[in-house]
């Protein structure tokens, strides 16, 4: 500790106290320089050692030179040494920066050269494999086709019979069959639907009842749902006649309840109606609910749609068809006589008209009717229930008319 203080101090008064003669001063100077060299080596280039290595250590003479020597040994010399250290540090930083920049430029050139080689190889590989891959135009067309398939509209058909008939009739494009997981999927009816889907290449997925409830919007799905393209009304060639010589066509105006429409289609298909035509305006679409209510009959029979029923009826009247309207059991205010359905017989091609819930047939269609049919009530009816549901009434009337057609043929 004493040597360090002795070596580091710049106080001339303290040196005078230690040194008494000129010879002793010279000896002490030599000894201090040797000690400084040892300390510099032990510090390994620290700032303290650098400072004492660059600053000559002299013992000032007495008198006026004390202050000048003290100043030279302390302030001014310290500033010059610090300034030199700063310049050295700046030169070192600039040198390192230049070296780093040159190194980065060299690495970038090597990287670009490697990338150029990679591009050359890739280009050659692309030429070699050109025949193995479709052209850009074909890929674009394929991508559009894939997107069109993904964006193709679909709906969820639910219920065992609607799903099975939708798969077998080929009128829809099925994309996936969903079956309730568990023992319900082992029922014979469900297995039959799954087998049909498998034969047609339609994927089958096992899902929970909650998923099926959500898909069918709470409908009675019976553990089966099918994602398929929608069905719509047929609008082409609806005027073309076919079938028996005395066909019966059922004409529906403004049936808005899908459950009623489904029930009517089921009865019409079961009883053998030759064609069903519905107004397109103010009528419910052919939805999955209609298909389920028809027990799948909608999947089998084509339902035609007409923009203007009035024009269609005029055309059929001109062709000699018999236009028959339906009314309640009470007589309507008209000059045309109301006939009970059991008394009517089909003798020529016939159109049976049925109106929507609540209001029945419109005045425009009523004015074109040649005959009115009604269903006789079995008892006196109170207000509110003096008429039947349109789907029930359709079943009774169709059975009566088609039975009379069969008996007339016999």
CATH number at residue 220: 3.30.1330.30
User: Residue 270 is part of a domain; what is its CATH number?
Assistant: 3.40.1280.10
Q: Are residues 371 and 400 in the same domain?
A: yes
**Mean pLDDT for all residues in the chain:** 75
Q: Is residue 105 part of a domain?
A: no
Q: Containing domain of residue 219, as a range?
A: 154-228
pLDDT at site 392: 95
- Residue 259 vs residues 83, 271, 291, 317, 335: alpha-carbon distances, Å: 99, 18, 9, 31, 34
Is the CB of residue 326 less than 8 Å from the CB of residue 391? Answer: no
The count of domains in the chain is 3
User: Could you tell me if 255 and 390 lie in one domain?
Assistant: yes
pLDDT of residue 178: 97
Kindly give the parts of the chain with pLDDT less than 70: 1-32, 34-152, 237-243, 329-336, 406-410
- Structure tokens that stand for 240 in this block: 């073309």
* Domain closes at, from 42, 68, 86: 86
Co-location of 267 and 404 in the same domain:
yes
Q: Is residue 91 part of a domain?
A: no
Asked if residue 396 lies in contact with residue 271, where contact means CB atoms within 8 angstroms, the answer is no
Alpha-carbon gap, residue 154 to 345, rounded angstroms:
44
User: Which residue, 43, 31, 30, is CA-closest to 3?
Assistant: 31
> Is residue 177 classed as helix, strand or coil in its secondary structure?
strand
Gap between the Cα atoms of 30 and 23, Å rounded: 11
Which SS3 state, helix, strand or coil, does residue 350 take? strand
Stated pTM of the model: 0.62
For the record, the structure tokens of 1 come out as: 């500790």
Q: Nearest 10 degrees: CA dihedral of 276, 282, 287, 291?
A: -40
Q: Do 281 and 204 fall into the same domain?
A: no
Same domain, yes or no, for 290 and 401?
Answer: yes
User: Quick one: angle between helices 47-54 and 77-128, nearest 10?
Assistant: 130
For residues 207 and 277, state if they share a domain: no
- pLDDT score of 100: 57
Instruction: Say what angle helices 390-409 and 258-271 make with each other, to 10 degrees.
Output: 10
Given 86, 102, 125, which residue is the final one in a domain? Answer: 86
Report the Cα 219 to chain-centroid distance in Å.
Answer: 24
Residue 32, burial from CB neighbour count under 10 angstroms (0-12, 13-18, 19+): middle
Residues 259 and 289: their CA atoms lie apart, in Å, by 7
In a domain, 139, yes or no: no
**Alpha-carbon distance 312 to 306, whole Å?**
8
Please indicate, yes or no, whether residues 268 and 187 belong to a single structural domain of this protein: no
Which tokens sit at 364?
Answer: 């425009």
Query: Are 265 and 340 within one domain?
Result: yes
Asked which of 64, 86, 108 is the last residue of a domain, the reply is 86
Examine the domain organization and report whether 306 and 207 are in the same domain.
Answer: no
Q: How far is the C-alpha of 291 from the C-alpha of 358, rounded, in Å?
A: 23
| pLDDT value for 305 | 96
């Amino acid at each position: 500790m004493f040597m360090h203080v002795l070596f580091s101090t710049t106080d001339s008064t303290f040196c005078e106290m230690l040194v008494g003669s000129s010879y002793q001063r010279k000896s002490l100077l030599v000894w201090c320089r040797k000690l400084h060299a040892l300390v510099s080596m032990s510090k390994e280039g620290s700032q303290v050692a650098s400072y004492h290595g660059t600053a000559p250590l002299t013992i000032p003479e007495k008198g006026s030179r004390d202050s000048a020597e003290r100043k030279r040994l302390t302030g001014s010399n310290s500033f010059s040494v610090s300034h030199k250290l700063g310049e050295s540090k700046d030169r070192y930083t600039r040198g390192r920066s230049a070296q780093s920049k040159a190194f980065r430029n060299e690495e970038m050139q090597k990287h670009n050269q490697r990338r150029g080689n990679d591009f050359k190889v890739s280009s050659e590989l692309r030429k070699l494999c050109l025949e193995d891959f479709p052209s850009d135009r074909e890929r674009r067309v394929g991508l559009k086709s894939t997107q069109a398939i993904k964006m193709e509209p679909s709906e969820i058909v639910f219920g065992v019979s609607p799903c099975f008939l939708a798969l077998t009739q080929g009128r829809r494009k099925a994309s996936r069959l969903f079956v309730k997981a568990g023992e319900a999927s082992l029922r014979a009816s469900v297995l039959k639907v799954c087998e049909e889907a498998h034969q047609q290449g339609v994927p089958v997925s096992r899902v929970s009842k909650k998923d099926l409830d959500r898909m069918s919007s709470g409908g009675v799905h019976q553990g089966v749902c099918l994602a398929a393209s929608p069905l719509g009304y047929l609008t082409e060639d609806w005027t073309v006649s076919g079938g028996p010589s005395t066909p019966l066509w059922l004409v529906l105006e403004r049936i808005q309840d899908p459950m009623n429409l489904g029930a009517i289609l089921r009865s019409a298909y079961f009883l053998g109606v030759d064609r069903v035509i519905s107004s397109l305006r103010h009528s419910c679409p052919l939805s999955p609910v209609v298909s389920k209510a028809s027990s799948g009959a909608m999947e089998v029979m084509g339902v035609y749609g007409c923009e203007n029923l009035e024009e269609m009826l005029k055309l059929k009247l001109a062709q000699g068809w018999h236009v028959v309207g339906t009314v309640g059991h009470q007589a309507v205010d008209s000059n045309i006589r109301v006939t009970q359905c059991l008394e009517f017989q089909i003798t020529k091609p016939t159109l049976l008209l049925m109106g929507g819930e609540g209001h029945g047939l419109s005045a425009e269609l009523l004015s074109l009717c040649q005959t009115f049919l009604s269903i006789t009530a079995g008892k006196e009816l109170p207000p509110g229930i003096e008429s039947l549901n349109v789907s029930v009434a359709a079943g009774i009337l169709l059975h009566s008319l088609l039975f009379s057609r069969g008996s007339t043929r016999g």
